[in-house]
Structure 1
């Protein structure tokens, strides 16, 4: 089994190099890795039971129950060894291939109300400015902000504007970083690698231009802990989010704020974070 472990480790390192280049592991590779893990667990179980079986053979070798148990154990060992040999015989010329073309997820929209198109126009232009890395929207209800964010997302369906990935994640009240990581990984073709997910995401995203939409955050989201490169240092990448709290915008470090009253009795602020705060420098 040591050989399979070595093969698995070599293949995992090879996959990491390929995935860091933006390639996607082929399905056959993932199936093989899953089988190795299953067989490894089975081998460990058999090894743990080895001493018990040896004692049965030495002390009670003529007991029918012990003979039957030993026979079953021996058969399990034999079948497991055959599976190990089969795994060893497999060869992989290609571990990873070009990922499928990324399609922007279409978001269902609420009916557009008066003034919303103007707000969308302003938010879109602001987000697309070179100096803007993060855009956040907050309001009491949250529905209108999600609608606006959805409209921005859907604009990328017509023209991705040079972005490699446009990713939508719903966060919800109870922040679960692992769930966010898994969803991002799924949408950029990195699903299937639970180990070091944070570093896998970071190494992949830093080599791509992306837009990440985080809908309905209730507290500060540490992008670095997820594995998302800081948009201020990532050339052209963007992060946009909605929240119900102005305090969350502040905790996310957003400086510039816009105030708008276009959505009936609801105050909505759009805040953005520039990679270089020119006002502070002055």
Structure 2
């Protein structure tokens, strides 16, 4: 009789413990899905059309969908279990709790990177708004998010039109040359070359057009070497004129005349 009572007490403890673990799992899943919603909202704002997600983020989202399905299935199986068999699901519940905690922890680590990106953006924006700063260098090895940061800065500049008359984004060609850079700039400020102009003539045409604009920004994406602004036809940075260089090379020879 005593043995039977002990067995019943054990099942009762298992059920009570299982209920507590299930409540804990449900709370953590709610937290996880809240993080997912935040990431979904962030991606809608930050991702360019047709731009692919980073593989690790894509895998994370797939794992969130998987864990949601598994938790729902586990909840149904527990609901269909008898009082004596419910406790057998305890290990499955604890396993799901650990998996959900790992997924949440991954996002917390990613959030540190997001905060780092935010700090970097704020610093670049502060320099853009400072009339005493003419040239801004954004350096970092490949894959650290330089282009994403600069596209966000570019989008913000385009939205706040009162800050600058024009924002020019130039992606440096693989085989960089003055002529290619001049044509890229011309296409953005509505300057038309006939095709037979010399480098100096093209530079003068660009310089004259840009000189009519009191405030503008030129962003060079993925630049590898210094280029003469005079040869390009870009006025030297001064009050209202900003030059932003995004590069993988920590040291570039001095840009200027």
TM-score (ref. length: structure 1): 0.47
Distance 1:107 1:223, change over 3 A: farther
Deviation, structure 1 residue 174: 2.8
- What CA distance in whole angstroms lies between the structure 2 residues aligned with 1:169 and 1:193? 21
> Can you list the C-alpha shifts for 1:206-241, whole angstroms capped at 9, x where unaligned?
121211110001111211110001013xx4111101
Structure 1 residues 137-216: aligned runs within 5 Å: 137-141=138-142, 144-194=145-195, 195=197, 196-208=201-213, 209-216=215-222
> Can you list the C-alpha shifts for 1:128-161, whole angstroms capped at 9, x where unaligned?
1010111011111165221211111110121123
Which structure shows the bigger proportion of residues in strand conformation?
A: 1
| Structure number, greater radius of gyration | 2
Across the two proteins, how many residue pairs are aligned to each other? 145
The counterpart of 2:244, out of the listed 240, 243, 250, is 240
> What are structure 2's unaligned runs of at least 5 residues?
1-45, 55-112
Answer yes or no: is the 8 Å Cα contact 2:193–2:202 preserved in 1.
no
Deviation, structure 1 residue 251: 2.9
Structure 1 residues 48-197: aligned runs within 5 Å: 108=48, 113-141=114-142, 144-194=145-195, 195=197, 196-197=201-202
> What are structure 1's unaligned runs of at least 5 residues?
1-105, 254-282
Relative CO higher for 1 or 2, CA cutoff 8 Å, sep ≥ 6? 1
Distance 1:205 1:129, change over 3 A: same
Q: Secondary structure at 2:207's aligned position in 1? A: helix
Q: Secondary structure at 1:220's aligned position in 2? A: coil
Q: Secondary structure at 1:132's aligned position in 2? A: coil
Distance 1:143 1:184, change over 3 A: farther
Q: What is the aligned-residue RMSD (CA, Å)?
A: 2.4
Answer yes or no: is the 8 Å Cα contact 1:142–1:242 preserved in 2.
no
> Can you list the C-alpha shifts for 1:2-46, whole angstroms capped at 9, x where unaligned?
xxxxxxxxxxxxxxxxxxxxxxxxxxxxxxxxxxxxxxxxxxxxx
